[in-house]
Amino acid sequence: MASASRLVSLALCLCLGAALHAAPRGAHAARAFFVFGDSLVDNGNNNYLFTQARADAPPYGIDTPDQRATGRFSNGKNVPDIISEHLGAEPVLPYLSPELDGDKMLVGANFASAGVGILNDTGIQFANIIHISKQLRYFEQYQRRLAALVGAEEASRLVRGALVLITLGGNDFVNNYYLVPYSARSREFSLPDYVSYLLSEYAQVLARLHDLGARRVLVQGVGPIGCVPAELALHSADGACDPELQRAAEMYNPRLMALLADLNARLGAGGGGDPVFVGVNTHRIHNDFIDDPRAYGFQTATEACCGQGRFNGLGLCTVMSSLCADRDAYVFWDNFHPTERANRLIVQQFMYGTTDYIAPVNLSTVLAMDLRKQQLRT
């Protein structure tokens, strides 16, 4: 059986390689890509909004070819950019970008906005951000624009054949439930009840995505939020992760995976054979770096590259901040977000990880499965 399993894996990898080799580059990429969520995946929507939750000034983007701050909360590329590389496509544009028109629409769109969460009251301190309910309305608007461009039938085909990434949940803890002592949500809910409430709301978001045509959705869990430099600066004397925030993430993530399995079963994809929703264990991926950063070529997983104060975790990353010389040696770029190098290692687990990292199947398997279905149709 082990030999047969290896042969199947090899066949899937060969199919994937053929798909990437054959995929047209640029605006006419074979598969569209849509992104929803928060600052971990925002690539510039907040640049067009009056909000403090922006990354449109140096030293953000310092390691891009033109060293320009694009609105990504990184020194370079973020997770959606690197997934686009694996799809053989150019990065998707922010939905609010005036450049998103004509052939660029065929690549997809990024609707994410820094500061948002599952709940619409998450991130209210940032004022003008695109909450997830509005991101979904923008997705509807995008589809109407696309249908006007290519026709309703082709627009539906493109959306149903697209890859979707959604990243939510972390802000619902750090920028809501635990934002201040005795926050409104923490007075309203115990932590277990709050997790239940979050997941009931998230189920509606994911079901709405499906209603709007999404058929391949990567859903990232909540990372080790107690270990980010911002939380270490406030709560850690020695670089140890904050146990309460870690408890929240560890309570939430297994229940998220159970929710995705239930949604797949209800939507006719039970047993993992052809899943709509694929769960990414972001917590496990990041914990690998945090537990043993040197095993992955990092010098530190506690200090941010750009910031100030303890663990470089206080305040915003600005031109006045302390800035590290070697970004590749750091897991964290600023007080919350990974460096490009960490993002690349994260996407490696998206692509090739075992079910400990991504389930029920990894992204390379999804792409190979979809390529075979496409070939059978033609």
- Give yes or no: 211 in active site: no
- Give yes or no: 283 in active site: no
Catalytic option among 39, 74, 84, 236: 39
Q: What are phi and psi of 305, to 5 degrees?
A: -70, -40
Cα–Cα distance between 367 and 358 in angstroms, integer? 14
Q: What angle do CA 64, 287, 111 make, to 5 degrees?
A: 45
Strand partners, 323: 306
Helix (H, G, I), strand (E, B) or coil at 41: coil
Residues 6+ apart with CB under 8 A from 300: 293, 329, 330, 331
> How many other CB atoms sit within 10 Å of the CB of residue 161?
16
Single-letter amino acid code for the residue at 1: M
Cα–Cα distance between 291 and 334 in angstroms, integer? 19
Catalytic option among 131, 286, 337, 364: 337
Residues 6+ apart with CB under 8 A from 302: 227, 229, 232, 239, 311
> How many other CB atoms sit within 10 Å of the CB of residue 185?
18
Helix (H, G, I), strand (E, B) or coil at 336: coil
- Give yes or no: 334 in active site: yes
Residue with token string 């149903």 = 160
Catalytic option among 283, 334, 364, 370: 334
Active-site residue set: 39, 334, 337
